[in-house]
Amino acid sequence: MAEEVKLFKTLSSPFALRVDWALRLKGIQYESVLEDLSDKSDLLLQNNPVYKKVPVLLHNGQSISESLIILEYIEETWKQDPLLPQDPYARARARFWAKFGDDKVLPSLWTAFISEGKEQEAALAEASENLQKLEGELNGKKFFGGDNIGYLDIALGWLANLITVLEEISSLKLVDGERFPLLLAWMKEFSDVPLIKDCWPPHDKLIPRFIAHRQVYRMKPSST
């Protein structure tokens, strides 16, 4: 009997993209279910009752949420083409930088994107400092995973997808070749991999979505 592998996602979720990429890198057949977050399906609510958000992976009736945890699940369930390195210390480093991306890099870039004035200046300085650390992690490597795409490339892949969108809307320069030559080269290398590019949401559809996101966040009393 064929396995049931379903991914609940939205068009613009960078976290769901991680799961798309991981499944494709391992050659797993799966079905995508596109969710509209303003009108979530009963199936999504049943399968992620705690957070009620995407991505959710449904595998033979069992649902897993939280994208980095889904990556670990995929790695442990389908062992071909490992995403993580074999050495425990290298694995810990990959996990550390993935978490740093979510906990530090993303919030600082997002705050820079939605804020203005002094708050934006502070967020830009923080984002720059955070990106500098990722730049250091790329030293001497084509991908974060080395010669090939690995777990950390997948975890940070949203950067390659979103930076141009955020830059275009905000007119900010977030990742430039002068400060971040390695990161910029990585963004290009990563985006050019066919399997990655195939999942890319269309740029012209992302732009209006992120303009709308920005509007909503700017109207909130607290900007984070």
Residues that bind its own copies (CB under 8 A): 50, 59, 62, 64-66, 69-70, 72-73, 76-77, 88-89, 91-92, 95-96, 99-100, 133
Q: Closest CB to its own copies among 22 and 64? A: 64
What one-character-per-residue DSSP string does 130-189 give?
Answer: HHHHHHHHHTT-SBTTBSS--HHHHHHHHHHHHHHHHHHHH----S-TTT-HHHHHHHHH
| CB 77 to its own copies: min, Å | 5
Whole-angstrom distance, CA of residue 203 vs CA of residue 148: 25
Q: Closest CB to its own copies among 191 and 223? A: 223
| CB 68 to its own copies: min, Å | 8
Q: Closest CB to its own copies among 122 and 169? A: 122
Q: Which of 152, 50, 49 minimizes the C-alpha distance to 96? A: 152
- 65: β partners: 56
| CB 78 to its own copies: min, Å | 9
Neighbour tally for 168: CB within 10 Å: 14
| CB 4 to its own copies: min, Å | 13
> What's the gap between Cα 196 and its chain centre?
12
Q: Closest CB to its own copies among 92 and 125? A: 92
| CB 108 to its own copies: min, Å | 13
Whole-angstrom distance, CA of residue 224 vs CA of residue 215: 13
Q: Closest CB to its own copies among 53 and 170? A: 53
Give residues with Cβ within 8 angstroms of 86, minimum separation 6. Answer: none
Q: Closest CB to its own copies among 133 and 173? A: 133
Whole-angstrom distance, CA of residue 134 vs CA of residue 82: 22
| CB 203 to its own copies: min, Å | 31
